[in-house]
Structure 1
Amino acid sequence: MEQQDYKYIDQVLKGDHRAYAYLVDKYKYMVYTIAVKMVENEAEAEDIAQEVFIKAYRQLYRFERRSKFSTWLYTIAYRTAASKLKENALDTAPLTDELSDTYWSEETSTEAPPMEASEQQRFVRDAISQLPKLEAVVVTLYYLDERSVKEIQEITGLTAENIKIRLFRARKKLEHSLRFLLE
């Protein structure tokens, strides 16, 4: 999978700038997800996502392949969103149903009727949106994007222990929130 990324990176670095579209298309949803979790504003998240891809394009020659390209890109996304948070006191907006495709693959349980599956997704999405921003990002990266603790460490700059603690706390909060929402 990463070999495919490297192929396109090499093409871009050799002057084929259209090859960058593959990387943008592959990672646009996750970059947007990180941004919207951080800034809690869809329009601002879209702007951040565009900025991330511009920054990554301009700095692509600096990508040293010591980590996955996705980890390098998500690091840029995380830092860009964190920088925007510091710059602005952003108004928060609730997540809308438009984001459901960002968080959930089409591999929902086939045992549950579609209405129940979407309702379950809504409950989980609502519970995640109630978490503090950094915990929501860590949960999203770990559970929904299936990133390792080491990759999350590279992306966020947090220690492995801090990530594990945040995941533990987030799980407890999610359990409490979901019990409350389901009752």
Structure 2
Amino acid sequence: MFLTGTKHFSYPMEETPEHTKAIIDEDTAIDHALMVEIARGDHKAFRQLVERHQGAVIGTISKMLGNTSDSEDIAQQVFIRVWKHAKRYKPDNKFTTYLYTIARNLVYNESRRRSRKKTVSTEQREEKSHLQHPDDPNSQPDSKLLTSELQSAIDDAIQELPENQRLAVVLRRYENLPYEEIALVLKTSVPSVKSLLFRARTSLRESLENYMES
């Protein structure tokens, strides 16, 4: 597998919006230049592109599918498609828009495949959770356990969202994509993206109401 562990690039908080925009423009130019070389069959350029974006792609797929062991395999499929279709790539938008669109299609296909082949019932999941965290009135969970349980609850709540809402939340919350780019990935309008996020946040608040109260 060509995927290797890398950290997802993030911008320091102290940067100004103008400086951040300059970085984004520079990143886009680098991606487009790499795609030109990849279209010529340059394996080194392809490895560089993978290293630049694999962390974000794996993270997004993992959030969409629920932290599964399949995330890296699907991410690999994403980059294989980038390689195969490099000659047809047109730099009309940011490369990440193109990348997340491929990821979206593969994730949606995987989600539908799983919905047709469920092997674990709700009762089995609840039983497994109970065995892992048995009720004990005398137990006092530490802050790390509470944080872990809250994050698990958030992940589960995100999984219950409709596909478009889920992807909008993941791209906005975890990848910090602007509304305009999310709209391109989802093939919709900016107002529609904002509506999706509003409905998603409302659903998440309802799902996490018990945690928020405590």
The two structures share one fold, judged by TM-score above 0.5:
yes
Taking every aligned residue pair, what percent have the same amino acid on both sides? 26
- Give the aligned partner of residue 192 of structure 2: 162
Distance 1:9 1:92 in 2: 40
Gaps of 5+ in 1: 95-114
Question: TM-score, normalised to structure 2's length?
Answer: 0.64
Of 119-128 and 52-61, more deviation after overlay is shown by 119-128
The structure-2 alpha-carbon separation of the partners of 1:176 and 1:52, relative to structure 1 and needing over 3 Å to count, comes to same
Q: Does 1:139 align with 2:165?
A: no
- Give the aligned partner of residue 180 of structure 1: 210
Superposition CA RMSD, Å = 2.8
* Structural mapping, 1:13-52, within 5 Å: 13-40=39-66, 42-52=68-78
Deviations 1:69-106 (A, max 9, x none): 01101000001111223334354899xxxxxxxxxxxx
Deviations 1:1-26 (A, max 9, x none): 11121232222223321211111112
Largest Rg, 1 or 2: 2
* Structural mapping, 1:51-130, within 5 Å: 51-88=77-114, 89-91=116-118, 123-124=150-151, 126-130=153-157
Q: Does 1:153 align with 2:202?
A: no
The structure-2 alpha-carbon separation of the partners of 1:92 and 1:20, relative to structure 1 and needing over 3 Å to count, comes to farther
- Give the aligned partner of residue 104 of structure 1: none
Distance 2:61 2:117 in 1: 13
- The answer to whether the 8 A contact 1:34-1:78 is kept is no
Distance 1:92 1:136 in 2: 22
Deviations 1:141-180 (A, max 9, x none): 0122111222112212244333212211222233344442
Give the number of equivalent residue pairs: 163
Question: TM-score, normalised to structure 1's length?
Answer: 0.73
> Which amino acid is 2:202 matched to?
K
CA offset at residue 138 of structure 1? 0.9
The structure-2 alpha-carbon separation of the partners of 1:118 and 1:5, relative to structure 1 and needing over 3 Å to count, comes to farther
Q: Which has the higher helix share?
A: 1
Distance 1:179 1:141 in 2: 23
Distance 1:138 1:30 in 2: 14
The structure-2 alpha-carbon separation of the partners of 1:29 and 1:129, relative to structure 1 and needing over 3 Å to count, comes to farther
Deviations 1:39-59 (A, max 9, x none): 336123222111111011111
